[in-house]
Structure 1
Amino acid sequence: MIFFFILCLSVFFWVRFGRRQNNSVAFFHPYCDAGGGGERVLWEAISAISEKYPTRQIFIYTGDEASSKEILSRAESRFNIKIENVTFIHLKYRWMVEASTWPSFTLAGQSAGSIFLAFEALLKLNPEIVIDSMGYSFTYPLFWLFGCKVGCYIHYPTISTDMLQKVSKREADFNNSETIANNSVLSSGKLLYYQHFSKIYAFCGNRSSVVMTNSSWTQNHLDQIWARKSAKIFPPCDVSAFTKLEIEQKRIPFQIMSLAQFRPEKNHKLQVEAFKQLYENPNLSSDRSKLSLIMAGGVRNPGDEARVEELQSLISAYGLEKAITIEKNISFERIVELFETSSCGIHTMKDEHFGITCVDFQASGTIAVGHDSAGPKEDIFVDYKGGPTGFLATDAKSFADSMEKILLLPSEKKIKIQENARNSCKRFSSEQFKTDFLYATAKLFK
C-alpha cells in the first residue's frame, strides 16, 4: 500500500514538473481533423493566439491518425484558414470517448473516458495553459490538479435542463430511447442518474478559470447548471467568401442543400422525410423532375459512415435515388459552389447550440429553413429591421411547407429576404470572434 502511494506520488510530481512545457498553450480537441463548426472555432482560436502571442508554443491534443501536414492542409481547404505554428500531440486512446464504446450509461462512460484520455495527454505534455474546445469538462479537475491554467469553449452542454425535462416527462428522443421513456421505473432511474451527473458536471466545470459559450441557448443552460456566468462568444463565421457570391444569378431552380456532419443529432433522416413530402406535393408536380436535395457533410468515424449507409437505404426505399445525393467530406471550393447555386437550404437539428451553417446560408443568399429551437431560433433566423431572414420548422410537414414557400417565392420577396439575411449575419464575423476570444482568455496569459 505504501509502495503504491509512493508510486502515485512519484508519477504526480513527474507529470506536474517533469512534463511541464512553459510558455505553451494546448488545445484539447481529439477530433481536430473533422470538418464541422467546432473545428472552425479551433482553427480561428489558434490563429488569434498566434497573432496576439507570437512567442507562445501552440499544441493540439488529437486522436486523429492523419499527419500534421494533412490535417493543416484540410483545415485550409475546408475553412480557408492557414495555420503553421502548431504541434500535434497524438493520442492513442480516443476510443475511450467514442459513444460506441459506451452503449449504456453513455454520458458517464464518455466522461470517464475523457479523464483517461486527458491523463494520456498530460503524460505526453503538461502545458502551462490548456483550452478545451470540445466540451470535455470532466477533464478540468485533472488539468487543474497538474498545474494547468484551464479555459474552455462550450458548444453544447454535456447535460442540459432540456435533457432532464425530457426524461422527467418521459419523452423519447435520440438520447432517451423509447424503451426507457415507456417505462416509469427506468425513467425514474435515469432521471436520478442525470441529476447526480449534473452535480458532478457542475463541480468539474467550475475548475475552469475561463468559460466561453457559443450561443444564447448554451449560455442559459450552462449558467444554470454550473451556477456561474459564462462569456457568450458567437463562433467565427468567415462569411467573406459567401457574401461575395451572386445572390440570384447562378441559382439552380429547385436545388436544395444541407451541410452538416453525419452525426445522429443532426437528424438527416428528417431531411429525407421532409423532401419526400415536398416531392409528392401536387403544387410542385410540374417541377418534380427538377427537385433535388444535396446532403453534404463530414464523416468522422465508422458510426458516421453507418448513418450515411442507413440514409442511402432510406432514400432507395423511397425511390428518391435520382433526386437525393450525399456528398461526404467535400472541399471548401465545393461548399462555396453549393451555397452559390442552391435555391433553398435546410438544417434539421433540434436544439442546435448555434448553427454556423445557418449563418453561411444567410451570407450566401441561400434562403433556408432551420429547426424552431435554440440557436437558429434565438440568435440567427431573427428579423432584421422588421423583415425575415429565414424560416423555422419542427417536423417533416412544416419543413416541407417551408421549402415549398421558399422555392415558390416571388423574385422581389426573395431578394428582400436574401438582403436582410446577408446584412443580419455581419454580427458573426471571424474578426469579432477573435476580439471577443482574446478578451475572454486574457487572464490565462497573465
Structure 2
Amino acid sequence: MALLTTLLAILAGTSLFVGLLPYAVWFVGRLVGTSLYSKTQQRRELLLNRAKNDAKEQTEKTSVTQSQKASSSTSLDEEWEKVNKTPPGSPPQGKASQSVDESYSGIIGFFHPFCNAGGGGERVLFAAILATQQRYPNALCVVYTGDHDASKEQILTNVRNRFNIDLKPARISFLYLSTREYVLASRWPHFTLLGQSLGSLIMGWDAFGLLVPDIFIDTMGYAFTIALCKWLFPWMPTGAYVHYPTISTDMLSSLHDEVGNRGLNAGLGKGTKGKAKQVYWELFARLYSWVGGQVDVVMTNSTWTQRHISSLWTRSRTKSGKTHDISVVYPPCAVAELQEKIPVSSPRSNTLLYIAQFRPEKMHHVILDAFAALLKQWTPAQGSKPKLILVGSVRDDDDQKRVYKLRLQAQEIRENVEFVINAKWPQILELLKSCSVGVNGMWNEHFGIGVVEYQAAGLISVVNNSGGPREDIVVDVDGKPTGFLASTTTEFTDGFAKALSLSTEDALAMRHRARKGSLRFSEYVFSTAWTTQLERLVELGRRS
C-alpha cells in the first residue's frame, strides 16, 4: 500500500511538472527577453540619435545643393523634358506608390547574414529597405549581417553599383554578427538542415544581444530565428520573406527520383541510409511547420514557394491565431531600367548568358554539358559558333573552388566559354543588351530574378522546367510562348538550338512577348506589395 501511495505521488508530481513546464518555459523566455531588451537600450538610443543627427546633416547639405542648382539658369524646355521623362513600368506622374508616414520612428530589424553577397536575395533586401524608407522616412532600418570585411559605406556602394539602388545612409545601420560560421553547410557535414537551423538560433541570439528591434523581419530563410524572437519577445511583430522553403514535399519526392537534374539529393532515398534520410526529413518538416506558425506576416517570392509554404505552415499558423494570409510578393526586378536602356531590336550575337551565383544548386555543370553538345552538332551553315557567358558572384573559398572546377570542365570548349566574376551592374547591362539567349539551369528555382531580367532585356529564355520560371515567368503571353523549358541535358541542348535557329521575325515577336510579361515584376509593383505587408507589421506593433 505504501509503495502504491509513493508511485501515485510520483505520478502526480510528474503530471504537475509536465503541466507547469510550458508556463515555466514561457516565463524563462520573458525573463531572458526583458534582460536582453534592457541590455541593448544604450545601443538603441545611440543608433537613433546618430540617425537623427546624420539625417539632419544630410538635409542641410541637400538644401545647400538645391539652392545652388536653383541659382543656375535652366531653360523651360529642359525642365519640361525632365518632368515628362518617365521610365516604362513606373507609376504615372504625380502619383506616389505609397503615402508617407512620418509618425513612425521605430527600429525595423532585417535578419540577412549575407547581405553583401550580391545575389537576388540581396536585391530583395535592399529594395525592401528602400520601400521602407520611402513609406516610413523616420524609421531606422537595421541589418544584422556577418560581412565583417565590408563597412557600411562599402556595402551601400556595392548596392548602388550592383542593383542601382540608392538608400538614405542616415536611416540604415549594420550590426555585425560574430556567429555566421554556424550556418555554413561545411560546419554541419551531417544532419545539415537541422544543424544550420540550430546555427541560425545561435545567430539569432547573437543578433538580439546586439539590439532588440521593434519589428523583426527575416529576409533570408532563417525561420527558426523568428521562433526564438517570439519566445523572447512575444509582443514583437515578426515577418518573413521566404525565397524558398527550407524543406518541401518536392525534396522528399526527389529522394526516389532517378533524374540527377532534380536537385542535389535526387535518387538518394535507396537502402537503409536513404530511408533514414527520409525519416529525418519528415521529422524536420514537422518542426519547420511549427516554426512557421510563429510568423505574423509571411511573404513568398513566387506561386511555387507560396504553395509549398502554405502546405507546411497554414495549420500551425491557424492554431497560433495568425490572421494574415500568406501572400506572393514578387521580387523587384530592374524592369523599368532595362526597358529604358535596352531596345528589343538591338543587334545581338549568338551568345548564351547565364546569370547566377556559383553555387551547386545552380547546375552550371549541366549547362556546360548541354552547351558542349550544342557545339558538337553545330554546322558551318548555321554561322559562327555560339558562345556561353557565365556571370555570377563569388562569396567565399568554396565558390572559388567551384569556379575552378567548372573551368576545368570547360577546357575543351574554353574558346567558346567565358566566366565573368562579381560583375557590376553596367557590365551586366551590356551583356543583356548584346546576348541573344538567357539560361537558367536550377531545378525548382524558387523564383528567378535573372530570368525576368532576360525577358525585360529582350532575351529568349531557356530555363529549367520547374519552380518559379515555369509557373510565373516563362509563361505564355497573348497565347504564345515567351521561351523554352528543359529538364535534362539533352532538352537544354535542344532548347539552345531552337532559340538560336528562330527566324528574325519569330525571334523579335517572342522578345516582345517576353518583355510584356516582365512588367508584372517591376520594382514599383514590388514596392507597393512590400509596403502593404509592412503596414500590417507596423499596425501590429502599435497595437501591442
Same fold (TM over 0.5): yes
Partner in structure 2 of residue 333 of structure 1: 426
Partner in structure 1 of residue 276 of structure 2: 189
Give, in whole Å, the separation in 2 of the partners of 1:269 and 1:423.
Answer: 31
String of CA shifts for 1:221-263, please: whole Å, max 9, x gaps: 11001125411111111212211212233312x1111100011
Partner in structure 2 of residue 104 of structure 1: 190
**Partner of 2:462: helix, strand, or coil?**
strand
Which one of 137, 144, 169 corresponds to residue 54 of structure 1? 137
Give, in whole Å, the separation in 1 of the partners of 2:257 and 2:441.
Answer: 23
Give, in whole Å, the separation in 1 of the partners of 2:179 and 2:482.
Answer: 44
Structure 1 contact 16–146 (Cα < 8 Å) conserved = no
Partner in structure 2 of residue 362 of structure 1: 455
Letter of the 2:129 partner, please give it: I
Partner in structure 2 of residue 242 of structure 1: 338
Structure 1 contact 168–191 (Cα < 8 Å) conserved = no
Q: Does 1:389 align with 2:485?
A: no
Shift of 1:93: 1.2
Letter of the 2:422 partner, please give it: N
Greater Rg over alpha carbons, structure = 2
Shift of 1:411: 0.7
Which one of 504, 507, 516 corresponds to residue 411 of structure 1? 504
Structure 1 unaligned residues grouped into runs of 5+: none
String of CA shifts for 1:266-319, please: whole Å, max 9, x gaps: 11111101110110114x344575421110011112121111111011011xx1
Give, in whole Å, the separation in 2 of the partners of 1:122 and 1:49.
Answer: 21
Which one of 165, 168, 173 corresponds to residue 253 of structure 2? 165
Q: Is the deviation greater in 228-237 or in 346-355? A: 228-237
Structure 2 contact 477–514 (Cα < 8 Å) conserved = yes
Which one of 170, 181, 186 corresponds to residue 95 of structure 1? 181
Partner in structure 2 of residue 13 of structure 1: 34
Letter of the 1:187 partner, please give it: G
Letter of the 2:290 partner, please give it: F
Structure 1 contact 133–153 (Cα < 8 Å) conserved = yes
RMSD: 2.0
Partner in structure 2 of residue 71 of structure 1: 155
Partner in structure 1 of residue 6 of structure 2: none
**Partner of 2:217: helix, strand, or coil?**
strand
Partner in structure 2 of residue 216 of structure 1: 303
**Partner of 1:362: helix, strand, or coil?**
helix
Structure 2 contact 258–266 (Cα < 8 Å) conserved = no
**Partner of 2:347: helix, strand, or coil?**
coil
Which one of 342, 347, 358 corresponds to residue 262 of structure 1? 358
**Partner of 2:391: helix, strand, or coil?**
strand
Shift of 1:444: 1.1
* TM alignment of 1:310-349, pairs within 5 A: 310-316=405-411, 319-349=412-442
Give, in whole Å, the separation in 1 of the partners of 2:187 and 2:418.
Answer: 30
Give, in whole Å, the separation in 2 of the partners of 1:262 and 1:116.
Answer: 27
TM-score (norm 1): 0.94
**Partner of 2:107: helix, strand, or coil?**
strand
Shift of 1:188: 1.4
**Partner of 1:271: helix, strand, or coil?**
helix
Give, in whole Å, the separation in 1 of the partners of 2:143 and 2:374.
Answer: 44
Partner in structure 2 of residue 38 of structure 1: 121
Task: Return closer, same or farther for 1:93/1:324 CA change in 2, 3 Å cut-off.
Answer: same
Letter of the 1:166 partner, please give it: S
Shift of 1:398: 1.1
Task: Return closer, same or farther for 1:356/1:117 CA change in 2, 3 Å cut-off.
Answer: same
Give, in whole Å, the separation in 2 of the partners of 1:310 and 1:143.
Answer: 41
* TM alignment of 1:295-314, pairs within 5 A: 295-314=390-409
Give, in whole Å, the separation in 2 of the partners of 1:159 and 1:276.
Answer: 33
**Partner of 2:410: helix, strand, or coil?**
helix
Shift of 1:175: 3.7
Shift of 1:166: 2.0
Give, in whole Å, the separation in 1 of the partners of 2:439 and 2:456.
Answer: 15
Letter of the 2:475 partner, please give it: V
**Partner of 2:239: helix, strand, or coil?**
strand
**Partner of 2:444: helix, strand, or coil?**
coil
Task: Return closer, same or farther for 1:327/1:191 CA change in 2, 3 Å cut-off.
Answer: same
Which one of 206, 221, 231 corresponds to residue 135 of structure 1? 221
Q: Does 1:176 align with 2:265?
A: yes
**Partner of 2:506: helix, strand, or coil?**
helix
Shift of 1:374: 1.1
**Partner of 2:283: helix, strand, or coil?**
helix
Shift of 1:377: 0.7
Task: Give the percent of matched residue pairs that are identical in Structure 1 and Structure 2.
Answer: 38
String of CA shifts for 1:364-386, please: whole Å, max 9, x gaps: 01111111111111100111111
Give, in whole Å, the separation in 1 of the partners of 2:461 and 2:158.
Answer: 27
Structure 1 contact 241–336 (Cα < 8 Å) conserved = no
Which one of 123, 135, 139 corresponds to residue 209 of structure 2? 123
Task: Return closer, same or farther for 1:169/1:257 CA change in 2, 3 Å cut-off.
Answer: closer
Give, in whole Å, the separation in 2 of the partners of 1:249 and 1:123.
Answer: 53
Give, in whole Å, the separation in 1 of the partners of 2:339 and 2:29.
Answer: 56
**Partner of 1:300: helix, strand, or coil?**
coil
Give, in whole Å, the separation in 2 of the partners of 1:296 and 1:232.
Answer: 28
Structure 1 contact 168–188 (Cα < 8 Å) conserved = no
Structure 2 unaligned residues grouped into runs of 5+: 1-24, 45-104, 318-324, 540-544
